[in-house]
Amino acid sequence: MGTPVDPVPEVIRAALADAADAPGYPLTAGTAVLRDAIAAWVARACGAGVDGLGVLPTIGSKELVAWLPTLLGLGPGDVVVVPSIAYPTYEDGGRLAGATTVRADSLTAVGPTSRVRLVWVNSPSNPTGRVLPATHLRKVVDWARERGAVVASDECYLPLGWAAEPVSVLSPEVCGGSYDSVLAVHSLSKRSNLAGYRAGFVAGDPALVAELLKVRKHAGMIVPAPVQAAMVAALRDERHADEQRARYRARRETLRAAFTGAGFTVEHSEAGLYLWLTRGEDCWATVDWLARRGVLVAAGVFYGPGAREHVRVALTESDERIAAVAGRLAER
């Protein structure tokens, strides 16, 4: 269903344990060492030149996704644009702020309104695994800047490119070398198996990051000091991330072959942690068919009304359980 099951790498657990004696309040902005580690990782992974003033640790990525409209001061009368098929928390965040949410993959469908204050993009997508090309992302950034809106890019699955290589919104070919009105949201949940640690960060426009920091200080949105130390270790070490990526690649190949062999069509799924599947029927019929074989998947309608004939299959199970799924589908 999507929660990591592989062990937390020893280098990260050791860093957490070594920082366990933390009686004082941690910094909301993160330690200088953590900010430097985030900026260095963003430079490697996103091709961006943000510094320590343009990054901020978060309590996982979901917390920031849910509260970003509120932290940015959105409210009734403002519009948040989200993908037509999307992670539900984008819409939930708009609702928490009292704003109006519009589902649209093409900004021309939004119309000429000047009420748009925030545009969410998600590449690679959860749930579809779709990768947006740099040209598309650049058009979104240009469109938003012309209207004084913020572009927030959920890039939690950026390191997991399979059939396509994802591009960050912070890449110069997307943002033009300027981070004005642009934020990228990242997580260590999938890359480093740290879903239980609640370790994420946001990077981009230093002015926006400063405003987020100001509010988060008063709201108590602080990453615990031992987790900050663990994040430093995770961000500095690429070996464990490469090993985890290899695990997911192997599981993806096994599941893809098993589901296509059972008559499913795989759509998009070029990157990320999921396969986006259809049998051309109502998603609940598919969920039921698989459940009868002991396989649990997510119904497409969880992610939007346009996904009524799809299901989401996660790569986050042990090798033994992945093999069991393939065996059960072969016995159908």
One DSSP character per residue, 98-147 reads TPEEEE-SSGGGG-S-S-EEEEEEESS-TTT-----HHHHHHHHHHHHHT
Nearest to 220 by CA among 12, 8, 1, 25: 25
Cβ atoms 19, 229 nearer than 8 A: yes
The pLDDT of residue 112 is above 80: no
Going by the DSSP 8-state scheme, the letter that residue 271 receives in this structure is B
Q: What tens digit of pLDDT does each residue of 219-236 get?
A: 999 999 999 999 999 999
Q: Which domains, ranges and CATH numbers included, belong to the chain?
A: 10-238 (3.40.640.10), 240-330 (3.90.1150.10)
The pLDDT of residue 94 is above 80: yes
Sole residue written with tokens 């396969």: 275
How much of the chain, in percent, has pLDDT values that exceed 70? 100
One DSSP character per residue, 170-198 reads TSHHHHTT--TTEEEEEESTTTSS-GGGT
pLDDT band at 106; cut points 50, 70, 90: confident
- Can you give the pLDDT at residue 289? 97
Exposure on the CB side of residue 92, measured as CA atoms within 13 A: 12
Reading the block at residue 104, the tokens are: 């649209």
Reading the block at residue 272, the tokens are: 């990320």
Across the chain, what does the average pLDDT equal?
A: 96
b/e per residue 114-132 (b: at least 16 CB within 10 A):
eebbbbbbbbbbbbbbbbb
